Structure 1
C-alpha cells in the first residue's frame, strides 16, 4: 500500500517553498546553515527561517508568489543557534541526531509514482493517489472525473465528486508528506527546508540511494558532531547528497516529488 501526492498538494507547496529558500541560501554561500519551516493556507504563508546567511526579503516574497500565488506572507528570520553553528566550525560534521532507514522501492511504489506523474502532466493541480494491490484511488482536483475514468477505468476516482483543491481548500505544512517522498524509508526527520549538513537531508538521501543500489534495507544512526556514518566520512556523505540534489535540479525540484 502506498500513497503519493503531487507538487500542487498544499503540503508539497510548503515543501517547495522551503526548498526554494534553501536554494537561495546556497546562492549566497557554498555551505550555508539553514532550516526553514513553512505553514500555508487560506491566503497566508507563515515562514520561520533559522539561517547563517541573511535572505533578501524581496526574494523570499517573490519565491512564495511564484510557487503559491499572491499570498500574505508572515516571515521571521533568526540566526542559527551559536552551539549548532560551532559544531561545523572546524569542518563538516553530522548536523543532528537521528535514526535513518533506506528501503528498496517496490514495484507497486514505482507504479503509483508513475501514475501520479502521468496524471500531473495532464492536470497540474492538487492531487493525491493511493495504490493498495489492485485498488487504485485517484483524487485529482480540477479534472473531470469522466476524463480520468477514460485513462484509468478500474480506479476509484474523486469519491466526493469533482473538486478544486489547493491551499484555499486545505492547509499545508513542510515535511508532512514524508510517506509520499520516502515510501518505506520513513523514520525520523524531514527531508525538506534544510541544508546538507543536516542528517535529515544527507543521511536520508545516502541511506535511500544505498538501498536502491544494494537491493537491501539500510539502517543507520548518528549523533550530532559525528565525523563518520556507515564507515564513510560525513563530508563524503554530504557530497553524495549534494550530487543527488544537483542531479534533480536543486532543493525546490527535490521537494516536488521527493525520493520516490
Structure 2
C-alpha cells in the first residue's frame, strides 16, 4: 500500500504524488516535497503530511489503525481544509495541535480552495513466482514490507505485479499471469520503490522487464499493453488436433 495525493481536477495542471516511506512531507509553494504553485493562497510552507508508519493492509487488525498512522498539520496563513465526503469542510487549524488524521478518500484543500487533492492509498500485492522456495529470502520481504506491499504465492485478480528472477523457464503459473495482463517485473524493482520517499510519478517497470526461457530460447517480456495489442489486425483460427481432413477449414470459415 502506497499513499497518494491525486488532484481532484485532473485538468488543474497540478502533479500527482506517491508516498512510499514513512516520514514528514512538507506541502507548499517552494522548497517542499509537494509543490503547489497554482493557488496564490498557498504559503511557502503551507502544511505537513506526517506518515508515522507504512503497514501492509493485510496485517492490520482494523482499518482505524491504518488511518491513525497518517496526520496532516496546518502551518499556513489561509488555511488547510478537509472534506470527509459529507459536504462539510473542516479547518485543520481548529483541531488540537493544528493537526488531524487523514483517511482514504479525504479531499484536502490548500489555501483558497483552488488546490484540492484526494488522499488515498494504492494497494500493492506482489505475486512472487520463483522456481525455488522463498524461505530465507528476508531482504525482499523486508523491502516489500517497508513500502506496505504484501507478497503472496498465489495468483489472484487482486495481484498488482508479478515478481520473477531473470531467465526463469516459462511454466503454467507464469503463463497464467501473462494471460491475466499482469505486469511481470524483476525483483530488483521492489528495491527501486523502497528507495523512494515521495515521487510525482509511480516508478515504471519497463526497464525491469525480465527475460524468460521458452523452449530453450530467451524471450524478453513485453508490457501488458503491448501484449494486449500484439495480434491487432490479425485473424486467428484455432482448431483441435482432431479437426483434420478435407473441407474442415471451409466449414470453419463459413461459420
Normalized against structure 2, the TM-score is what? 0.23
| Higher normalized strand content (fraction of residues) | 2
Q: Between Structure 1 and Structure 2, which shows a larger proportion of helix residues?
A: 1
Point out which structure has higher relative CO (alpha carbons under 8 A, 6+ apart).
Answer: 1
